[in-house]
Chain A
């Protein structure tokens, strides 16, 4: 089954070119050319992944990103021309899973897309327990008691990676490799921002985390102590 990718970009040539590259790799591609209406296009097409330009007429990509995130956990990769910290961090905070800086190589773009569409990492058994949370690996669900928590696939994957080895401290680089699929150095802000987003969903007090804790100067681990 071919994955369906929604490309939201206002530049006609780039949109078409990205379409050519993706179709030649066997993806099914649909397009939208503005920020306004992007959410409707998303709902109508139900894509498996969204490529979203940050600078869009009407409504900027970061807003569109928040809107999509409010309705679905579908992977979103931002296309950004700006490498300045603020733009990238704003995009990630709005819920983008990853970002690609223009001008990008087709190989880089494809690698990022494939990493996001890759099935979740396998774990032994069907459920993993971490603190008060139960992770259902097959159903991709997280429950606190009877309450079901809504995590994006990326957040689920991040939590699962930590939860499977509760004693181990993961460096940001290790998480970038296992969760995001980067094999070479990448932006550690990806990890920082997504850990924050994850905490805001699973922790009772996100400022005083108990499930995903920070190990100063090294990285993160599941549980306390």
Chain B
């Protein structure tokens, strides 16, 4: 678990920091390069040492063999004892002792000759003839006057094995027959030199690798630092500190980055400041318009009401005029309110007044408000709500207005057929759907349904006096709550609007608790699949 955590931590570091990645890559690649170079050096040095030593050995052996051969050839001994003593003198003359440069000698009689061995073979005191490989012996026997050699491992008293070279040569001894002279050279000295060189190489390269790592750290740090600073400053600017800038120093690419960055920040700051002042002016304008229009409208409204109240005393034409004026003043008022509301949204001056409320209650009062209209149009409103309260954090006034608006649209376009209202709930979301079975909409109409002042059919008679801003405001209200407002529609089959809101502000939801289109066997097509 802890190892895994460590690996995760390292991987995280790797992913997050460019510098870690750069240093790591540099060290790994340099390491591979050093390994190759080191291997090559080590091999070349070892090989060179060995070759030099071998040619030296061969030259020495040559001399030795010739010397021995000459000794025997020149001797005039005839008796065994003298021969034996001559033989015995060979070994000490060739042998040499040393801790790392010893040379040992063996003079062996070639087996398989006629006549019994009468002389004792002289062998260096601490040489075990078993180290002489058998295939070397057979090569020596077959060779004529030539040196043959082979590398072997020479076991030592302390158990270690020294590298060594055995050189063999046949020797003809008068009276005694064929002999083989073997010289065993210990190469421990060369091995030690090689070991030393290798260890120096190893440590040298390790230090070099470490230094490469350190250098690449400093270099990347030097390069990455300005980028890091730029990232921090960008973050600050994104957080709203619009006047943060990078320091511009020098003429290099980093300085160019800093200059371009600062220019971008300048232009952004200018734009944002300009937009902010435009937005402030807009809000100011909205506020002024609201006061300036509302006061005369209030007077008109009061006057209209007084005239309307006494319409029975007027002549027929004046009476009808009073009625028309009364209705139109109301319409004007609704339109003004909607306009002001949408301008407030445009100016970003809207804040939700959130409170935990019962969605069933909100839906209930929205329906209650529109029941008279539904009755006058002959539409029945069917309600399907969960039992028990549906708690949801919303701006109740806005959401009730939204649902009222959806209901008014359903009544308007519902062709007096039943309208169904459903409430659904899940752990993270609450949904309300309003479905009518009226004229419906084509796909092209669905696409434009939330546009301002858009009407499905301009030729269609309007009876409920909507302003054309209702759905645009509804959509803004929904977005204010972080919710969805979706529509399904099909020509001549009806339309369904589904509002989905998070149960609490900030809750994430991926699915609405209610289906869209509503589950009904005869309506399977997706929104606007069929258009006409």
A residues apposed to B, CB below 8 Å:
11, 13-14, 17-18, 20-21, 24, 55, 79, 81-82, 84-85, 102-107, 185, 217
Which of B297, B298, B306, B356 counts the most chain A CB atoms within 10 A? B298
Q: List the one stretch of B286-294, B370-378, B524-532 in contact with chain A.
A: B286-294
Interface size on B, residues (CB 8 A): 21
B305 within 8 Å of A (CB atoms)? yes
Indicate if the CB atoms of B295 and A11 lie closer than 8 Å: yes
B residues apposed to A, CB below 8 Å:
287, 290-291, 294-303, 305-306, 333, 349, 351, 353, 356, 365
* 14 A-B pairs (CB sep. < 8 Å): A11-B295, A11-B296, A17-B303, A17-B306, A21-B306, A55-B291, A81-B290, A81-B295, A85-B351, A85-B353, A102-B294, A103-B333, A104-B298, A106-B305
- Residues in B with CB closer than 8 Å to A84 are 287, 349
- Residues in B with CB closer than 8 Å to A24 are 306
Indicate if the CB atoms of B306 and A103 lie closer than 8 Å: no
Rounded to whole angstroms, the CA-CA distance of A14 and B349 in the bound complex is 29
Known: A81-B290, A82-B287, A82-B291. A102 touches B306 (CB 8 A): no
Rounded to whole angstroms, the CA-CA distance of A81 and B298 in the bound complex is 10
Known: A18-B302, A24-B306. A82 touches B297 (CB 8 A): no
Q: Which residue of B lies closest to A79 (CB)?
A: B298
- Residues in B with CB closer than 8 Å to A104 are 298, 301
With beta carbons under 8 angstroms apart, the residue of A17, A81, A105 that contacts B299 is A17
Chain B: minimal CB distance from A1 (Å): 25
Known: A17-B303, A20-B306. A103 touches B291 (CB 8 A): no
Indicate if the CB atoms of A17 and B291 lie closer than 8 Å: no
With beta carbons under 8 angstroms apart, the residue of A14, A55, A85 that contacts B298 is A14
Rounded to whole angstroms, the CA-CA distance of A17 and B303 in the bound complex is 7
Indicate if the CB atoms of A17 and B302 lie closer than 8 Å: yes
- Residues in B with CB closer than 8 Å to A21 are 302, 305-306
- Residues in B with CB closer than 8 Å to A20 are 302, 306
Indicate if the CB atoms of A185 and B365 lie closer than 8 Å: yes
Indicate if the CB atoms of A14 and B287 lie closer than 8 Å: no
- Residues in B with CB closer than 8 Å to A102 are 294-295, 297-298
Chain A: minimal CB distance from B202 (Å): 75
Rounded to whole angstroms, the CA-CA distance of A168 and B503 in the bound complex is 30
Indicate if the CB atoms of B301 and A105 lie closer than 8 Å: yes
- Residues in A with CB closer than 8 Å to B349 are 84
Chain B: minimal CB distance from A183 (Å): 13
Known: A85-B353, A105-B305, A106-B306. A13 touches B291 (CB 8 A): no
Indicate if the CB atoms of B299 and A13 lie closer than 8 Å: yes
Q: Which residue of A lies closest to B303 (CB)?
A: A17
Q: Which residue of B lies closest to A53 (CB)?
A: B295
Rounded to whole angstroms, the CA-CA distance of A17 and B297 in the bound complex is 12
Rounded to whole angstroms, the CA-CA distance of A106 and B300 in the bound complex is 11
Beyond the given pairs A13-B296, A13-B299, A14-B295, 10 more chain A to chain B contacts, judged by CB atoms under 8 angstroms and listed by A's residue number, are A11-B296, A17-B302, A18-B302, A20-B302, A82-B290, A84-B349, A85-B351, A102-B294, A103-B297, A106-B302
Chain B: minimal CB distance from A79 (Å): 8
Chain B: minimal CB distance from A85 (Å): 7
- Residues in B with CB closer than 8 Å to A103 are 294, 297-298, 300-301, 333
Rounded to whole angstroms, the CA-CA distance of A20 and B306 in the bound complex is 9
- Residues in A with CB closer than 8 Å to B294 are 81, 102-103
Chain A: minimal CB distance from B293 (Å): 8
- Residues in A with CB closer than 8 Å to B351 are 85
Q: Which residue of A lies closest to B308 (CB)?
A: A106
Rounded to whole angstroms, the CA-CA distance of A11 and B301 in the bound complex is 14
- Residues in A with CB closer than 8 Å to B287 are 82, 84
Chain A: minimal CB distance from B367 (Å): 14
- Residues in B with CB closer than 8 Å to A85 are 351, 353
- Residues in A with CB closer than 8 Å to B298 are 14, 17, 79, 102-104
Which of A14, A79, A85 counts the most chain B CB atoms within 10 A? A14
Indicate if the CB atoms of A11 and B291 lie closer than 8 Å: no
Q: Which residue of A lies closest to B290 (CB)?
A: A81
Q: Which residue of B lies closest to A82 (CB)?
A: B290
Chain B: minimal CB distance from A69 (Å): 24
With beta carbons under 8 angstroms apart, the residue of B299, B305, B353 that contacts A11 is B299
The 8 A-B pairs at the shortest CB distance, nearest first, are namely: A81-B294, A103-B298, A102-B294, A81-B291, A103-B297, A102-B298, A17-B302, A14-B299
Chain A: minimal CB distance from B263 (Å): 39
Rounded to whole angstroms, the CA-CA distance of A217 and B356 in the bound complex is 9
Rounded to whole angstroms, the CA-CA distance of A107 and B333 in the bound complex is 16
Q: Which residue of B lies closest to A189 (CB)?
A: B353
- Residues in B with CB closer than 8 Å to A105 are 301, 305
Rounded to whole angstroms, the CA-CA distance of A49 and B302 in the bound complex is 20
Rounded to whole angstroms, the CA-CA distance of A81 and B291 in the bound complex is 5
- Residues in A with CB closer than 8 Å to B305 are 21, 105-107
